[in-house]
Amino acid sequence: MSMPERGARVVVPLGKRSVTGIVVDPTATLNLEETPADKIKHIIDVLDEEAFLPAPVVDLALWVAEYYACGAGDALAAAVPSTQAHKTIRIASVTAQGHDLTLSLRGRQKEAIEALRGAPHGLPVPQMNEAGISTDVLQRLADKGLVAFRRERTERDPFTSGVASVRTIPSSGRVLTDEQSRALEALGAAAATEQFSVFLLQGVTGSGKTEVYLRLAERVLGRGRSVLVLVPEIALTPAVASAFREAFGDRVAVQHSGLSDGERSDQWYRIRRADVSVVVGTRSAVFAPLGNLGLIIVDEEHDTSFKQEETPRYNGRDVAVMRGRNEHALVVLGSATPSLESSQNAAVGRYSRLVMERRVQDRPLAAVSVVDMRQEYAAHGPEVILSGPLKNAITKRLDAGQQSLILLNRRGLATAVFCRQCGGTIECPNCSVSLIVHAEGRDRHRARCHYCNYGVLVPKACPACKGPYLERRGFGTEKVAQEIAELWPRARVARLDRDTVRRRGAAADILRSMAVGSIDVLVGTQMIAKGHDFPRVTLVGVVSADVGLGLADFRAAERTFQLLTQVAGRAGRGVEPGEAIVQTLYPHHYSIGHACRQDYGAFFADELKYRQAMRYPPLTSLVNLVVKGTEARAAMTDAATLAGHLRNNADAGHFAVLGPAPAPVARLRGEYRAQIFLKGSHRASMREAVLGALAAEPEMRRRVAIDIDPVSIL
């Protein structure tokens, strides 16, 4: 066996199992005299002699492991294609000798031979491992000549993936707007230096950011360097991916969650072989094995889907910046509503800000008006869903054959089932939230948990007190769509939310119907606010701007501002000007006011003041620790122990420890959750303190989630 390179895959023993690992340091040496012989494990098999993961990607993954305080294995696993275990599998089969053997084997060896005799084509080793037969047992049988191994590659032809044409020149002979030209020149000059730098491209909705990306990509490709484009969710924002596909043909690989594991992994190999020079993908594509990287674009950089909410809890946008630094690439973060973090980085000069304030062809931004729902309720009662002005506006669009988007960032028919006798609501048995009512077929209604998906038929009586008077409260997108269908029976109404897009391809179908004009009114959650470009949408209605404001999250105002600005930006993208109508109980809240004026600068200034006063990011760094337990008290006690260790280090590390306190969702999927926050200016010392505290309580390790730079703190 020769020495595998850094980034190569090897099979190694781990406890009783054998697992695939990545070589991170082939030059490491052991002091053989000081290491007990039984601690030294041998590599079972070398799968690649050469690097499977390119060295820069190994570096990036190790940086992720360190920065986000997760295991190197977790970070490396995020960087390899998900099916790599199935790609090159070892198959064990019985030899002729093994078949004929009558001599008595015992225990596991006997089990293994019997299993293999029943499998004429052999069995994958990992599958046997899972059934409790270790690789060791198989190896011993192989040593006796009873079992043989072979390696099977299951790769399909990657070129059958159906890429139609090869076009290598960006689509349009369009004349760029002045702002587009200026942005392109600045970015092109930065790309030409082949040095690391970060630009924040802050362009209002409809200012034509995609066109700038395409032309910049063309220049970078012209220098022989490759391009990585990160987008929030391709199913919902197919426009950027297809623009790249159209412009650069089969030089583009698209990576997203809608692909099957096999397709995704085939793409990965195409990228690895340098068959493509442009990758468009969601968060995990930040680890794409592209060589000679010249440009990384993060479109809609403020989008929360760049943050992975499970281990490794990395933010794809921030990892992209680190990757650009490591590989001397230009990084472009694009958004109409930049995150506070990126905007602050631009304000202090770490990033360069480029602004595009006007829409292409001088189309005006939508005129936004606010409806004070307190007055609507006073005049028409508390049941009002659509205010008078919004109803009139919808009627006008239907008459004119134009389209409307109606946003409510809350799913379901009713948001709570309330008992008039005991005052309780029906809660999820696993989570500390109330169940949401959904229509299921015509008259059947089911109450469902939006966190764990638990569901029951809506009961006739209160489960707690048996009282017969159950009342439904609150409403979500289902109710809004019903109401609209009742008010305008001839309107073609569709709904876009997580419930309607469960089936693969469903989102694309709805968006396509919208694009071809076979939907008049599209009701939906934040999904309808993503970067869609429907020229016939002239009205955007926001049923309640207040949904996110009540959340116990310091980013509530930022999310509200972004959502309202983005959704208003969907109106008036064609020839006809657009209008947005925003219903709210808080017409004077700054996030709503600034969004209505589409004044990012003013919002940023106000929000920064609030973050400063409260010592929240981006003016301080935050770490969120969530301690889980099967009982509330146990979770809190463990969290208090950890907080104690942390406080002992806080002075030296210059950070503050807050909590423990029950998390806003105090019970989730049957587990109780207690929360500790660390706030300070020096992330490394906070991270060290957390790892130190956990080292002192090793058995807690598995019950604690460490979230560095958290995006959601619920």
# of chain residues touching ligand ADP (CB under 6 A) = 17
Pick 421 or 430: Cβ nearer Zn ion: 430
Per CB under 6 A, contacts with ligand ADP among 27-56 are none
Q: From the CB of 216, what's the least distance to ligand ADP, in Å?
A: 13
Pick 454 or 488: Cβ nearer Zn ion: 454
C-alpha to C-alpha distance for 205 and 595, rounded to whole angstroms = 12
Q: Render 449-507 in DSSP notation, one character per residue.
A: -TTT--EEEPPSS-TTT--S-EEEE---HHHHHHHHHHHSTTS-EEEESTTTT-STTHH
Composition of the chain by helix, strand, coil, percent to 5: 40, 25, 40
Which of the stretches 7-15, 171-179, 246-254, 661-669 binds ligand ADP when contact is defined by CB under 6 A? 171-179
User: How big is the CA angle at 402 (ends 398 and 405), to the nearest 5 degrees?
Assistant: 90
For residue 437, which of 419, 464, 411 has the smallest C-alpha distance?
Answer: 411
Is 680:620 a contact under the CB 8 Å cutoff? yes
Per CB under 5 A, contacts with Zn ion among 418-447 are 428, 430-431
* 210 interacts with ligand ADP by CB under 6 A: yes
Measured in degrees and rounded to the nearest 5, phi and psi for residue 552 equal: -80, 60
Pick 454 or 554: Cβ nearer Zn ion: 454
Pick 216 or 413: Cβ nearer ligand ADP: 216
Of the CA atoms within 13 Å of residue 152, those in its CB half-sphere come to: 15
Q: From the CB of 416, what's the least distance to ligand ADP, in Å?
A: 37
Q: From the CB of 531, what's the least distance to ligand ADP, in Å?
A: 6
User: How big is the CA angle at 453 (ends 508 and 422), to the nearest 5 degrees?
Assistant: 130
Sheet holding 579-584, edge to edge: 367-372, 579-584, 537-542, 403-407, 521-524, 493-496
Binding-site member from 7, 54, 81, 208 for ligand ADP (CB under 6 A): 208
# of chain residues touching Zn ion (CB under 5 A) = 7
* 149 interacts with Zn ion by CB under 5 A: no
Measured CA distances, 69 to 30, 122, 619, 626, 689 (Å) = 25, 41, 21, 14, 11
Site string (421-440) toward ligand ADP, x via CB under 6 A: --------------------
- Give which of Zn ion, ligand ADP, none residue 135 binds (C-beta under 5 to 8 Å, depending on kind): none
Binding-site member from 134, 205, 342, 403 for ligand ADP (CB under 6 A): 205
Pick 178 or 310: Cβ nearer ligand ADP: 178
Site string (478-517) toward ligand ADP, x via CB under 6 A: ----------------------------------------
Binding-site member from 2, 104, 160, 361 for ligand ADP (CB under 6 A): 361
Pick 203 or 629: Cβ nearer ligand ADP: 203
Per CB under 6 A, contacts with ligand ADP among 232-261 are none
Pick 293 or 333: Cβ nearer ligand ADP: 333
Binding-site member from 81, 98, 126, 203 for ligand ADP (CB under 6 A): 203
* 177 interacts with ligand ADP by CB under 6 A: yes
Three-class DSSP category at 46: strand
Is 113:141 a contact under the CB 8 Å cutoff? yes
- Give which of ligand ADP, Zn ion, none residue 431 binds (C-beta under 5 to 8 Å, depending on kind): Zn ion
Pick 208 or 312: Cβ nearer ligand ADP: 208
Measured CA distances, 266 to 5, 68, 285, 336, 483 (Å) = 23, 29, 14, 34, 46
Q: Render 573-626 in DSSP notation, one character per residue.
A: -SSS--EEEEEES-TT-HHHHHHHTT-HHHHHHHHHHHHHHHT-TTSSEEEEEE
Q: Which residues bind ligand ADP (CB under 6 A)?
A: 174-177, 180, 203, 205-211, 360-361, 531, 533
Q: Which residues bind Zn ion (CB under 5 A)?
A: 428, 430-431, 449, 451-452, 454
